[in-house]
Structure 1
Amino acid sequence: MFHGAITSGRPYPLGATWDGEGVNFAVFSQHATRMTLCLFSADGRWEAEWIDLPDREGHVWHGYVPGLRPGQAYGFRAHGPYRPDEGHRFNPHKLLLDPYAKRIAGRLEWDPALFGYDVASKHGDLTFDTRDSSNFVPRAVVTDPRLDARGERRPDRPLTETVIYEAHVRGLTMGRSDVPLRGTFAGLASDPVLEHLTGLGVTAIELLPVHAFLDDKFLLDKGLRNYWGYMTLGFFAPEPRYLSNGDPEEFRAMVRRFHSAGIEVILDVVYNHTAEGNQMGPTLSFRGLDNASYYRLAESPRYYLNDTGTGNVLNLDHPFVMRMVMDSLRHWAEAMGVDGFRFDLATTLGRTARGFDRNHPFLQAVRQDPVLGRLKLIAEPWDVGPGGYQLGAFPPPFLEWNDKFRDQVRRFWRGDRDMTRKLAMRLSGSALKFDHDGRPATSSVNFVTAHDGFTLMDLVSYRTKHNEANGEDNRDGHSENHSDNLGHEGPTDDPAIRAQRARRRRNLMATLLLAQGTPMILSGDEIGNGQGGNNNAYAQDNPVGWVDWDHADTEFLAFCRRMIDLRKRHPILRQKRFLHSRSRSIDGQVDLFWRRADGMPMTEVDWNDQDQRLIAVEMRVASETPDHIVRACREDAVFAVFNAGEESLVFLPEPPLDRAWVLHMDTADPEAEPVRIHRALKVAAESVAVLALEPKPLSRP
């Protein structure tokens, strides 16, 4: 190893920074008494040198090592008090991963040496373990800082055009034999995947966690692994298993490929907790560097707050912890080129000691940030902590996952009573939740299915969950899924049941794409993918959790394409303003009408009828042009019928003399060509019909 003597260096930027001549190391620890840099041999297998960082400014330890280059593997050992009852868990026998590592090499191997205490002692975490952990933990690797996406052209899609596709890097690609380098970022950006997504019509792909994470020991002991990735170990580094050659540039190349196809990339990020767990967890990075600063501790600081249900909570009240999260977000936005973030358990990120605060410093910091504030920001508005359910409470520009949409749309099509009023609320953008503080109608991220729960096919094929493969005696996962097997549990050859399931899926997908808000589709739903009734496939990195391309339902795929195209062609289905059944300021016309089958407006009696199974909605929006004549011709109007009951004759609103209603989609006959409808439409049982107001052809002289 050829380098000169270490010098003071600088306290910024945090992490390892190569300047062309050497590497500056800077790491935060408020309570450490000494910080040792560990440099590894060229093959990364053994520690070649220990060097104490020579300087400290505030709470940042730093030093500069001339001669080091990108590719150098390293770690830290932090010295300080080991007093768990006071919240301190320093143990220099444990090699620690740099929280700012942008590349991670090697896999974690579970061994008793990973723990700061003697796992065999009856005194548990109050003991002190002297075994060295360096042979069992990943190493940070110095990278070239010239990786930068600033200045590159992005799709920059407005939310009114956005259709999100939630996917898993491995899950989407492992089942396709025509994809090279399956299971990697390179495979995800391959031609077959891009052709599928562009053909489908989605505009953004939302990836389950791609930050470096670990496999939980209890899963490995059962022959499983952490598939979803919600156990982050490094907030700056791509997960090594998704890199075909170990180089983070592969992620950047993937983003560029998606951008060239007009598709944005959104990351599901987990800043609410880390992979180190509770007081009985391993010492891998944050705990060993400064436990009392990185984590929110209980009144007795030996223990951790657990609002996430995973054992710990990151302490965003500490300025350096918030700085780490903000730096991580900017790194992925600027250096890696991503277009947005979905914040897992976002309520945790806005919680103070007094409870959730929509003006929490972290939420304010993201909102005002000139880089982050312009991206697509999506909150999962709940956690398991006190006051954890906060749907509708996040400030703009945050969007929010809307679980009420998921549950109530499912229940309407299952035939539950008293669901018509609730469906109307969801179709109109859940305005009672989101129409405040200047938030647009796109604030609600509408979904029927997501990674956490049944797939769309399983939703209509199983009455109960079947999670036995997870090894938890089917106790895990949600028990109330508002699902229906339509007469048989699981797959069947019965043509009547199969046809009914296919129509139910079309109804659910149509409802999603006709509702005000930002729609999100779960990957594989468009081709009929199932998981055998497993509604919690977090540990199923195998065909259970992967999308099944070999048995793709091409008819349903064609239907999804048509529905997405219909949404794109009619701005009324994807506009920013909430529709409130009141006069528009532009022309005095009412923008939203709720109707019964006889064409008359819904009354309070109708809304309160618990057995009401049909509702029709007429939506209108006018172009904002000063020319009244042009505006009238360009008015966009859609009439949609949602019928969860028996066949019904539905009377249409009277169109202007020069226009007519055209039926564009009938989920009971999805391949039918558009047809002009005059006074009334026979709507089949359990179906959706969509009509648009269009100009009549000019008559011949």
Structure 2
Amino acid sequence: MNDHCSVMSEITAGTPYRLGAHFDGEGTNFALFSENASRVMLCLFSPDGKHELQRLALPERTGSVWHGHVAGLRPGALYGYRVEGTYAPDNGHRFNPNKLLIDPYTREFHGTFGEHGSTFGYQIGSQQGDLSFDESDSAPHVPKCVVSDPASFPLDAQTLGRGWDGTLIYEAHVKGTTILHPGVPEAMRGTYDGLASPAILDHLTRLGVTTVELLPVHAIKSEDALRARSMVNYWGYNTIGFFTPEPRYFGPAGILGFRAMVERFHAAGIEVILDVVYNHSAEGNHLGPTLSFRGLDNASYYRLMDGQRRYYVNDTGCGNTLNVDHPYVLRMIMDSLRFWVQAMGVDGFRFDLAVGLCRERHGFDSQGGFLDALRQDPVLAGVKLIAEPWDLGPGGYQLGKFPPPFAEWNDRYRDTVRRFWRGDGHSAQDLGSALLGSADLFDSAGRRTWSSVNFAAAHDGFTLADTTRYAKRHNEANGEGNHDGHHSNYSDNFGVEGDSDDPVIIEARRQRIRNILATVLLSQGTPMILAGDEGGNSQNGNNNVYCQDNETSWIDWQAMDGGLTEFTAAVSRFRREHAAVRQTSFLHGAVRESDGKPDVAWRDFDGSALNWRDPGLSSLCLLLRGCAESAVGDQSEDEVLLAFNRESRELELGLPDPGSRQWVREIDSSQNHQSPWPITDGSVRVAPHSVSAFVLRSFGAA
């Protein structure tokens, strides 16, 4: 047949136990789920993928799994499926054997998607729309699946196994982080190889990053609407292969570069978390193409509308919603998660639109099937799990409702911090909760402070710099009439929309960025920084760069503010060194047995109690007490005073009695460079619009 197969005409029963295509040393076993199909055809292709050489009916069906074994078929062989069954969209079935279908379990693709009407199961332009039936062959316009060499994906990868304490997340895009970095070798820019290059690793280590959270790296297909505008899905939230690394980011090492990247991160002590999109697929709504799941078994893979099964439930806003209620869809997700841990060494996952994965027939269920399966899985027991706690369906906002061991993206924290530093009324009260890990949301069921992932900017929305440059979004380049993206950005342009050459405005903006970064890094919970925010990276006011694979979305490393990066590294170091600002238990002012003092205390600058009822409250101090452990294991008291001055004037801060020790100011956001400043009397001046952090030290201590 070809170089990969000595016998092409014979297929035997094989086994149903491992879904996908698996070489066993003598041939390849194929197993595919389809509950409603009447026949499944395995299609084998020439090495260049251009010629279909043979179709073999999978000879056996065990339950809903079709399977067969082809002797002599070796790694590197190219294949796809054609599935026969009823074409009745009104009943939820869209089988069309004219469409070549991707194996959901394939590890590799050969070729790319083409723009062609044959990839649709219906006739484009027909008056019947998607109720019509298209007989054209889509095979020339879809990638082929590859029988993988088991040696390329051994299930022996190791995770770092770090706990949550001390975690600092850096949210990054593989290409956008590396493509313009002058220290990354040119052949590696935009690739997995480049992301783990010494230049990037050195930068992350300097910042104190412990965990890199990557925007989606599962194989995707860009939406046809974007391709028609000569754009692509840059972010990657449009998955078509849940076991396949996105080929756009292959570098010199090809597909093997992904695991090598993870291993280099691990060698540097940095975890890798993947942003995963199991809530929908790239096939879109009822007018989308037939590429995989739709043709394999539409009624099983997708949630369809009751009484109108031609249409899809669209709780994701992306046209369809995967039916996680179905055991084989749930199995696919679980198998995928285990693959990325065992074969690639991934340390955790951030679940996009996680509420959609947790919907039962009655709605969101924190004890539902997906969460039950996830939490009992021994392979996943030691990895980090983060939920984006919303989707677009009814009751879709569930912040704080996920069970342990999940952490959650806390968008309320983001809005609170932005509103406080912008000067909004009543925002200081919300900041009080945010600084202590949002206990009102997360302090239940034994959850820890790290459950709140605190961020002031993420990939979706303004960068931190743009919150200080733009009062409104500027998404015109996206081609959607500037109607896309968030409209509530809680931003402030300081009187000038966009760039300014006024040194007063420039410095005020830098000050705001430092304030926000300091707030994030000094809050209880898990801090997350958007890649580039540590140096003031801008996207020119575009708060939805999902389709901007260009200089708009790429980090401009040459323009990065070195002073701001130095400040970020200093506050990150302070966080590492002071356990009081990263305690894992929620603080409620409980009196400690060791010294009879409360674990946390709020106070005004003059030492009096705060007036939380004051709608104009704009300055507050927070005294934190914790226990620090030295390098040799000794325990010592760690006492930190945080002062937040939003006033436009200096404030006199009366310091608590230091006893036999001395207060030292270690963080002052009014300055780029941070150096310890011992306080010799009972008060100190705090600069306007600034954050200061003081620690108690013994006399003579560094």
Residue of structure 1 in register with 2:663 after alignment = 661
Residue of structure 2 in register with 1:315 after alignment = 323
Aligned pair partner of 1:469 in 460, 477, 480: 477
Aligned pair partner of 1:197 in 200, 204, 210: 204
**1:171 to partner: Cα distance:** 0.4
Residue of structure 1 in register with 2:678 after alignment = 676
Unaligned 5+ segments in structure 2 are none
Distance (whole Å) between structure 2 residues aligned to residue 138 and residue 583 of structure 1: 64
Superposed CA offset, 1:627-663 (max 9, x none) = xxx86xx100100101111321111111122x11100
Distance (whole Å) between structure 1 residues aligned to residue 624 and residue 184 of structure 2: 42
**1:423 to partner: Cα distance:** 0.4
**1:352 to partner: Cα distance:** 1.1
1:503-514 correspondence runs (5 A): 503-514=511-522
What amino acid does structure 2 have at the position aligned with 1:448?
A
Q: Contact 1:373–1:397 at 8 Å: present in 2 too?
A: no
**1:364 to partner: Cα distance:** 1.0
Aligned pair partner of 2:528 in 520, 525, 528: 520
Give the TM-score taking structure 1 as reference length: 0.96
**Residue 145 (structure 2) pairs with residue 140 (structure 1):** yes
Question: Which secondary structure state, in structure 1, belongs to the residue aligned with residue 21 of structure 2?
Answer: strand
Superposed CA offset, 1:452-508 (max 9, x none) = 000111111111100011011111000110000112111111110010001100000
**Residue 457 (structure 2) pairs with residue 455 (structure 1):** no
Superposed CA offset, 1:607-626 (max 9, x none) = 0101111010000013699x
**Residue 601 (structure 2) pairs with residue 593 (structure 1):** yes
**Residue 107 (structure 2) pairs with residue 63 (structure 1):** no
Give the TM-score taking structure 2 as reference length: 0.96
**Residue 350 (structure 2) pairs with residue 345 (structure 1):** no
Q: Contact 1:586–1:624 at 8 Å: present in 2 too?
A: no
**1:451 to partner: Cα distance:** 0.1
**Residue 692 (structure 2) pairs with residue 685 (structure 1):** no
Alpha-carbon spacing, 1:665–1:65, altered in 2? closer, same or farther (3 Å) = same
**Residue 380 (structure 2) pairs with residue 375 (structure 1):** no
Superposed CA offset, 1:106-160 (max 9, x none) = 1111211011111110110111110100011111111122345655554322211
**1:219 to partner: Cα distance:** 1.0
Q: Contact 1:461–1:488 at 8 Å: present in 2 too?
A: yes
Please, what is the CA RMSD of the aligned residues?
A: 1.4
**1:673 to partner: Cα distance:** 2.3
**1:572 to partner: Cα distance:** 1.1
**1:246 to partner: Cα distance:** 7.8
Aligned pair partner of 2:229 in 222, 226, 232: 222
Distance (whole Å) between structure 1 residues aligned to residue 596 and residue 685 of structure 2: 32
Distance (whole Å) between structure 2 residues aligned to residue 254 and residue 20 of structure 1: 28
Residue of structure 1 in register with 2:177 after alignment = 172
Question: Which secondary structure state, in structure 2, belongs to the residue aligned with residue 140 of structure 1?
Answer: strand
Q: Contact 1:72–1:141 at 8 Å: present in 2 too?
A: yes
**Residue 334 (structure 2) pairs with residue 326 (structure 1):** yes
Residue of structure 2 in register with 1:103 after alignment = 108
Q: Contact 1:652–1:679 at 8 Å: present in 2 too?
A: yes
**Residue 233 (structure 2) pairs with residue 231 (structure 1):** no
**Residue 299 (structure 2) pairs with residue 292 (structure 1):** yes
**1:668 to partner: Cα distance:** 1.2
**Residue 127 (structure 2) pairs with residue 122 (structure 1):** yes
Q: Contact 2:157–2:342 at 8 Å: present in 1 too?
A: no
Superposed CA offset, 1:300-320 (max 9, x none) = 111110000111110011100
What amino acid does structure 2 have at the position aligned with 1:353?
R
**1:214 to partner: Cα distance:** 0.7
After superposing the two structures, state which structure 1 stretch, 154-163 or 590-599, moved more.
Answer: 154-163
Distance (whole Å) between structure 2 residues aligned to residue 81 and residue 150 of structure 1: 38
**1:374 to partner: Cα distance:** 1.5
**Residue 642 (structure 2) pairs with residue 640 (structure 1):** yes
Superposed CA offset, 1:284-328 (max 9, x none) = 000000000000010111111000011111001110000000000
**1:684 to partner: Cα distance:** 1.2
**1:255 to partner: Cα distance:** 0.5
Superposed CA offset, 1:653-694 (max 9, x none) = 11122x111000111133252111131111111100110111
What amino acid does structure 2 have at the position aligned with 1:115?
F
What amino acid does structure 1 have at the position aligned with 2:551?
P
**1:585 to partner: Cα distance:** 5.2
Residue of structure 1 in register with 2:700 after alignment = 697
**Residue 38 (structure 2) pairs with residue 36 (structure 1):** no
Alpha-carbon spacing, 1:361–1:135, altered in 2? closer, same or farther (3 Å) = same
Q: Contact 2:168–2:211 at 8 Å: present in 1 too?
A: yes
Q: Contact 1:340–1:375 at 8 Å: present in 2 too?
A: yes
Unaligned 5+ segments in structure 1 are none
Q: Contact 2:580–2:626 at 8 Å: present in 1 too?
A: yes
**1:697 to partner: Cα distance:** 2.5
Distance (whole Å) between structure 2 residues aligned to residue 428 and residue 536 of structure 1: 30
Residue of structure 1 in register with 2:265 after alignment = 258
Alpha-carbon spacing, 1:123–1:150, altered in 2? closer, same or farther (3 Å) = closer
What amino acid does structure 2 have at the position aligned with 1:487?
G
Question: Which secondary structure state, in structure 1, belongs to the residue aligned with residue 288 of structure 2?
Answer: coil
Q: Contact 2:564–2:672 at 8 Å: present in 1 too?
A: no
Distance (whole Å) between structure 1 residues aligned to residue 524 and residue 292 of structure 2: 44
Q: Contact 2:468–2:512 at 8 Å: present in 1 too?
A: yes
Residue of structure 2 in register with 1:73 after alignment = 78
Alpha-carbon spacing, 1:510–1:128, altered in 2? closer, same or farther (3 Å) = same
Q: Contact 2:220–2:237 at 8 Å: present in 1 too?
A: yes
Q: Contact 2:567–2:674 at 8 Å: present in 1 too?
A: no
Question: Which secondary structure state, in structure 2, belongs to the residue aligned with residue 617 of structure 1?
Answer: strand
Question: Which secondary structure state, in structure 1, belongs to the residue aligned with residue 697 of structure 2?
Answer: strand
Q: Contact 2:570–2:674 at 8 Å: present in 1 too?
A: no
Q: Contact 1:463–1:485 at 8 Å: present in 2 too?
A: yes
What amino acid does structure 2 have at the position aligned with 1:16?
A
Distance (whole Å) between structure 1 residues aligned to residue 130 and residue 30 of structure 2: 31
1:392-411 correspondence runs (5 A): 392-411=400-419
Distance (whole Å) between structure 2 residues aligned to residue 149 and residue 685 of structure 1: 57
Q: Contact 1:94–1:284 at 8 Å: present in 2 too?
A: yes
Alpha-carbon spacing, 1:245–1:126, altered in 2? closer, same or farther (3 Å) = farther
Q: Contact 1:268–1:341 at 8 Å: present in 2 too?
A: yes
Q: Contact 1:378–1:400 at 8 Å: present in 2 too?
A: yes
Residue of structure 1 in register with 2:450 after alignment = 442
Aligned pair partner of 1:568 in 562, 576, 588: 576
Q: Contact 1:265–1:339 at 8 Å: present in 2 too?
A: yes
Distance (whole Å) between structure 1 residues aligned to residue 89 and residue 328 of structure 2: 21
Question: Which secondary structure state, in structure 1, belongs to the residue aligned with residue 688 of structure 2?
Answer: coil
Distance (whole Å) between structure 2 residues aligned to residue 151 and residue 377 of structure 1: 21
Residue of structure 1 in register with 2:505 after alignment = 497
Residue of structure 1 in register with 2:556 after alignment = 548
Distance (whole Å) between structure 2 residues aligned to residue 534 and residue 395 of structure 1: 34
Distance (whole Å) between structure 2 residues aligned to residue 672 and residue 147 of structure 1: 47
The aligned length equals: 688
Distance (whole Å) between structure 2 residues aligned to residue 491 and residue 210 of structure 1: 33
Question: Which secondary structure state, in structure 2, belongs to the residue aligned with residue 303 of structure 1?
Answer: strand
Distance (whole Å) between structure 2 residues aligned to residue 414 and residue 624 of structure 1: 37
